[in-house]
């Protein structure tokens, strides 16, 4: 009996020693990843950047089940088809509340560099679905046509026609067409701004609010610090991809100056919808997004500009595993709910424009998950050495 107890103690001590060594190794590994080419990043951002760039991210990555909150379904998914005015068709994904309406509508344009293979409804389904659940609004996501087969302004036209389709289908959707918003990330943010400009020019359906997540706002070659500093591709968006997107989406260089491709260059931004612009610190599109927000404010548009420090391009797509991504997702949802409520957003026109900086600070959960992911990444590297 005494021998068995002694053996159990030795095994326990050995297991504890291994656990301590693995933990220390993970901490050292994760801390080493924090030093990137353009500066030091938080632990969770560091492991996400490394995992994606080394293609080590497991499929279906999401919050561990013991940390996830469960709730009954409040939305339903519909797959629909819209006829375009040029004789083609595009798919439309709709998430709508189970409860009776009419409900406000958010038309969401997915990102993906305007090109095939970089983004679609499926790659952005988590954002679309979550936005519907959090806002209790109908979220309509068009699968607009992409370059190189379909060049500018096809994507703009498809998305504007989706806006018109929402109004025409309001009874079927149980939609409140007096409360329509548009939103989009990256290329989708560019398209949301373009649709807002187009409906203003054509006196089309009224858009109440607009949320632009790290949007591309100009195709012109202008000096922007963030484009130069963070465009290597390590932060999820490279200069080569941006240049390729411009080449295939707008092959006619004259189109680079159109307000529908470069909304930052639009002469008149007045009377656009109340707008939220979200940017990330380590994002080549940061400066042009904030410049667009500044111009909106100068034009008298109610504008909120928020920069999340410590994160890269596309960080809200990782809201399920990144605290700052979750914070950004909730910020968009809260803005949309406020904009569609009876309490209209107002601003003091004399107020100076200011970007609200959300400082980098991982939550305890982010810290723990970063080091757990560090153990996983180390194991993947070891596997690759012996394979």
Q: So which residues are the catalytic ones?
A: 186, 283, 313
Please provide residue 325's backbone torsions phi and psi, each rounded to the nearest 5 degrees. -65, -40
DSSP state of 137: S
Ordered DSSP codes for 316-347: GGGTTT-HHHHHHHHHHHHHHHHHTSSS----
Residue 117 · residue 147 · CB < 8 Å: no
Cβ neighbors of 158 (< 8 A, separation 6 or more) are: 84, 90, 142, 144, 145
Residue count of the chain, please give it.
387
* Residues contacting 44, CB < 8 A, separation 6+: 321, 322, 323, 324, 362, 366, 367, 369, 370
What b/e readout covers 329-358, taking b as 16+ CB neighbours within 10 angstroms? Answer: bebbbebbeebbeeeebeeeeeeeeeeeeb
Structure tokens at 339: 């904009």
Distance of CA 157 to the CA centre of its chain: 22
Contact yes or no for 307/254 (Cβ under 8 A) = no
> Nearest to residue 236, comparing CAs of 280, 175, 293, 179?
280
**Residue from 181, 207, 216, 214 nearest 334 by CA:** 181
In the chain the first and final C-alpha atoms are separated, in Å, by 44
Question: For residues 325 and 265, what is the distance between their CA atoms, to the nearest angstrom?
Answer: 29
Integer Cα distance of 19 and 13 in angstroms: 10
């Amino acid at each position: 009996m005494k021998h068995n107890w002694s053996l159990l103690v030795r095994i326990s001590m050995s297991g504890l020693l291994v656990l301590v060594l693995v933990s220390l190794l993970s901490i050292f590994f994760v801390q080493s990843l924090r030093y990137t080419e353009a500066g030091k990043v938080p632990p969770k951002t560091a492991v996400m950047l490394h995992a994606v760039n080394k293609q080590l991210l497991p499929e279906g990555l999401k919050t561990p089940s013991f940390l996830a909150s469960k709730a009954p379904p409040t939305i339903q998914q519909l797959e629909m088809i819209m006829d375009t005015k040029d004789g083609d068709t595009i798919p439309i994904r709709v998430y709508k509340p189970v409860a009776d309406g009419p409900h406000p509508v958010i038309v969401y344009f997915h990102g993906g560099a305007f090109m095939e293979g970089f983004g679609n409804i499926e790659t952005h389904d988590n954002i679309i679905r979550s936005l519907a659940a959090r806002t209790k609004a109908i979220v309509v996501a068009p699968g607009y046509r992409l370059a190189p087969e379909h060049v500018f302004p096809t994507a703009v036209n498809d998305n504007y026609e989706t806006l018109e389709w929402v109004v025409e289908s309001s009874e079927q959707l149980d939609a409140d067409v007096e409360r329509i918003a548009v939103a989009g990330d990256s290329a989708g943010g560019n398209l949301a701004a373009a649709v807002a400009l187009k409906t203003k020019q054509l006196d089309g359906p009224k858009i109440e609010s607009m949320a632009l997540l790290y949007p591309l706002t100009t195709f012109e070659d202008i000096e922007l610090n963030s484009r130069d500093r963070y465009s290597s591709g390590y932060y999820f968006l490279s200069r080569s991809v941006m240049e390729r997107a411009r080449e295939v989406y707008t092959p006619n260089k004259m189109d680079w100056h159109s307000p529908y491709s470069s909304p930052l260059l639009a002469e008149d931004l007045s009377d656009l919808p109340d707008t939220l612009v979200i940017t990330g610190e380590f994002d080549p599109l940061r400066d042009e997004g904030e410049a667009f927000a500044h111009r909106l404010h100068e034009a008298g548009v109610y504008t909120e500009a928020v920069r999340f420090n410590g994160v890269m391009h596309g960080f809200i797509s990782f809201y399920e595993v990144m605290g700052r991504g979750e914070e950004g997702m909730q910020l968009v949802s809260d803005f949309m709910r406020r904009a569609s409520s009876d309490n209209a957003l107002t601003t003091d026109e004399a107020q100076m424009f200011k970007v609200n900086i959300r400082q980098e600070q991982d939550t305890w959960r982010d810290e723990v998950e970063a080091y757990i992911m560090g153990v996983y990444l180390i194991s993947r590297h070891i596997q690759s050495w012996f394979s």
